[in-house]
Amino acid sequence: MKRRELISLLGGAAAWPLAAQAQLTERVRRIGVLMPFAEDDPDTKVRLAGFRHELERLGWLEGRNIRIDYRFAPAGVQAPMFVKELLALQPDVIVAVSTPITTALQRETRTVPIVFVGITADPISSGFVASLARPGGNLTGVVMFEETVTGKWLAMLKEIAPLLTRAALVFNPKTAPYYDYYLRAGEAAASSLAVEFVPLPIENATADIERTIEAFARVPNGGLVMLPDTTSDVHRDLLIGLAAKHRLPAVYANRLYVLIGGLMCYSTDRVDQFRQVASYVDRILRGAKPTDLPVQAPTKYETVINMKTAKALGLTVPPGLLVAADEVIE
């Protein structure tokens, strides 16, 4: 073996333990994620996959320089306990999914950085931030909708069902305490559409949901607006089935509902929002403070229409609504 090759080989050998040591001593950052859905929920899997993929793109890999601790609390059940568990792990940042979970985390810590997503209420009036531009505390994130979206939902219902005279806002006041935010905006829009807009509270129980929807359906020419709500997400199959059974046109705030049989949706791109959250987690892990990260508004909306469901309900989808659709399910 030549002398130069021997020196190169010995130098490389000496570098191996140093490289291994650097890898072993690289600081592992801890991220907590608390979601109000079941771990095996298909929507949960898609959102978290988008979150992890964006983190990887930004240089954060599970098992190398980050550890992600997940907790799942369907419809908010056990959320307070999971909040305490995550905080006990001393995370560098926590991702809070939904308004109730963000509220629960805020009660327990004013120091651990929190990035919220799935916020369906005004983050200022909810007390999460002082302003959208300068949050002012340990919270920032991405809002899901602005209140004016209610007018869009009602307009879609009236367009696809011109005889509509009543529309109900479906929500559970325990898991959607922000419902009034949308109800007020919807009432203002409903008058111009000659539609009565009424609240339709439900409980987190099959029997109650069935009774409530059946009672509303007794009066003809009604329709449903499904507020973004973890209770509705947990019972989405039931709600879609009841809308079909009682021949009620319904508009949803999540495209997944339409993929599994719902009539139509106008919604934000949930996976895109989890990518936005990942970018904020990245910035916090690199030293940014939540107070310096403005609250982000939705950047992508999508309209999805299920033609098979429309036909089953005896509805003709007008050309204008079809042209506006990002996706049409035949």
The tens digit of pLDDT for each residue in 227-270 reads 988 899 889 999 999 999 999 999 999 988 999 999 999 999 88
Tell me which of 22 and 165 has the higher pLDDT: 165
Of the pLDDT bands very low, low, confident and very high (cuts 50, 70, 90), residue 146 is: confident
Strands 264-268 and 301-306, sheet pairing: antiparallel
Q: Is 257 exposed, middle or buried (0-12, 13-18, 19+ CB in 10 A)?
A: buried
Q: What is the pLDDT of residue 84?
A: 96
First CA to last CA distance, the chain: 71
Q: What is the pLDDT of residue 211?
A: 98
Instruction: Give the residue-averaged pLDDT of 122-129.
Output: 91
Q: Name the least confident of 12-21, 33-42, 112-121, 154-163.
A: 12-21
- Residue ranges of E strands in the chain: 29-35, 66-72, 93-97, 114-119, 139-143, 166-171, 196-201, 222-226, 250-252, 264-268, 301-306, 327-329
Distance (Å, whole) CA 93 – CA 199: 37
Q: What is the pLDDT of residue 302?
A: 92
Distance (Å, whole) CA 3 – CA 151: 79
The tens digit of pLDDT for each residue in 34-65 reads 998 889 988 899 999 999 999 999 999 999 99
User: Residue 254's closest CA among 302, 206, 321, 213?
Assistant: 302
The tens digit of pLDDT for each residue in 164-208 reads 999 999 999 988 888 988 998 899 899 999 999 999 999 999 999
Instruction: Give the residue-averaged pLDDT of 1-28.
Output: 48
List Cα–Cα distances, 272 to 17, 53, 241, 267, in angstroms.
Answer: 41, 11, 28, 12
Instruction: Give the residue-averaged pLDDT of 214-238.
Output: 95
Distance (Å, whole) CA 307 – CA 67: 43
User: Residue 278's closest CA among 108, 106, 62, 121?
Assistant: 62
Strands 301-306 and 327-329, sheet pairing: parallel
Residue 299 has pLDDT above 60, yes or no: yes
Residue 74 has pLDDT above 90, yes or no: no
Structural domains of the chain, with CATH: 28-144+270-299 (3.40.50.2300), 149-268+302-329 (3.40.50.2300)
Of the pLDDT bands very low, low, confident and very high (cuts 50, 70, 90), residue 8 is: very low
Distance (Å, whole) CA 198 – CA 260: 26
List Cα–Cα distances, 106 to 79, 102, 115, 291, 318, in angstroms.
Answer: 12, 6, 11, 14, 45
Counted residue by residue, the chain has a size of 330
Question: Position 43: which residue type?
Answer: D
Tell me which of 147 and 324 has the higher pLDDT: 324
